[in-house]
């Protein structure tokens, strides 16, 4: 990923809105497909068919060799779940990460949703993770820094008794799925290895994506398929993401959907 931060022109922002609208729709389609007995491959097909019907391409399909149109992760699986024969059951929580590429630009969003009735802890984890996104984008405004977003997310999540993943972060998004800057979900002044702390300016488009684990440990591991990331202790995980445009006022969520 280049360190260059691309500021989008008004025309490029309009194209980003188009990509974001399709991406958000794909997330909604995935959410609606979650039911007892469905396979993650079947959910993936719904996402693929919707994106193609809209005249776009699934951003994730073939990205770095990824075999699906969506990352579909269940329970302790945090991100990068490969669609396949895994069956979703009532009581599971399902994270879906999607992107749609059209007219040279891509959107990127994710959400974690229940299958049927889920436990109170799972409900609370999903609520906290979703709310942490909104706590973070209070600072997604021109003049603030990337670190302000992450600090707000971390403070809220840890205040609720959960942990924020350190190994994966948000990012710029536009012509490429992953652009500069990195957007950590934690205070980057406490962690080495981050890629800068730029000030936010009008025209930046970033993917803010809290990744949260139930309990006090944020340790993760990658499965043998070299894609799927799970909590090291087997605890439930949750993921929520939207593509956000920095404006001269309040941030604009480009992947707005009915489940926002």
Predicted confidence (pLDDT) per residue in 161-215, tens digit = 999 999 999 999 999 999 999 999 999 874 444 557 999 999 999 999 999 999 9
Report pLDDT for 259: 62
The angle at the Cα of 115, spanning 110 to 120, to the nearest 5 degrees, equals 95
Report pLDDT for 169: 98
Q: Which DSSP category does 6 fall into?
A: P
Q: Give the pLDDT band (50/70/90) at residue 257.
A: confident
Report pLDDT for 251: 98
Q: Does pLDDT of 135 surpass 80?
A: yes
Report pLDDT for 195: 59
Return the percentage of the chain with pLDDT > 90, whole number: 93
Q: Which of 182, 187, 181 is nearest to 158 (CA)?
A: 187
Q: What's the pLDDT tens digit per position in 71-86?
A: 999 999 999 999 999 9
Compute CA distances 15 → 26, 61, 75, 103, 140, whole Å: 17, 20, 34, 7, 20
For range 230-238, the mean pLDDT: 98
Question: Is 197:146 a contact under the CB 8 Å cutoff?
Answer: yes
CA 251 to chain CA centroid, Å, is 17
64: left (phi over 0), alpha (psi -120 to 50) or beta: left
Q: Delimit the domains of the chain by residue range.
A: 10-253
Question: Is 93:118 a contact under the CB 8 Å cutoff?
Answer: yes
For range 93-100, the mean pLDDT: 98
For range 153-161, the mean pLDDT: 98
For range 42-63, the mean pLDDT: 98
CATH number, domain 10-253, options 3.40.640.10, 3.90.230.10, 3.40.630.30, 3.40.50.300: 3.90.230.10
For range 45-52, the mean pLDDT: 98
Token pair in block for residue 179 = 């652009």
**CA atoms of 244 and 44, how far apart (whole Å):** 24
Higher-confidence position of 34 and 188 = 34
């Amino acid at each position: 990923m280049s360190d260059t931060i691309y500021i989008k022109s008004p025309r490029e922002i309009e194209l980003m809105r188009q990509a974001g609208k399709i991406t958000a729709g794909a997330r909604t389609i995935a959410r609606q497909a979650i039911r007892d007995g469905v396979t993650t491959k079947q959910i993936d097909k719904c996402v693929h068919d919707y994106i193609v019907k809209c005249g776009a391409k699934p951003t994730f399909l073939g990205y770095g060799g990824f075999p699906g149109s969506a990352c579909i992760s269940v329970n302790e699986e945090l991100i990068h779940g490969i669609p396949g024969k895994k069956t979703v059951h009532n009581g599971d929580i399902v994270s879906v990460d999607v992107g749609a590429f059209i007219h040279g630009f891509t959107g990127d969003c994710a959400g974690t949703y229940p299958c049927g009735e889920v436990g109170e802890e799972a409900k609370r984890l999903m609520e906290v993770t979703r709310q942490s996104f909104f706590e973070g984008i209070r600072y997604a405004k021109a003049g603030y820094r990337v670190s302000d977003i992450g600090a707000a997310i971390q403070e809220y999540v840890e205040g609720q008794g959960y942990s924020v993943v350190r190994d994966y972060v948000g990012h710029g998004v536009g012509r490429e799925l992953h652009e500069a800057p990195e957007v950590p979900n934690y205070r980057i002044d406490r962690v080495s290895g981050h890629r800068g702390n730029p000030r936010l300016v009008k025209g930046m488009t970033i993917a803010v994506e809290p990744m949260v684990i139930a309990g006090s440990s944020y340790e993760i591991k990658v499965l043998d398929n070299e894609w799927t990331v799970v909590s090291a202790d087997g605890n439930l995980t949750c993921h929520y993401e939207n593509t956000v445009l920095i404006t001269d006022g309040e941030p604009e969520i480009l992947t707005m959907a009915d489940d926002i």
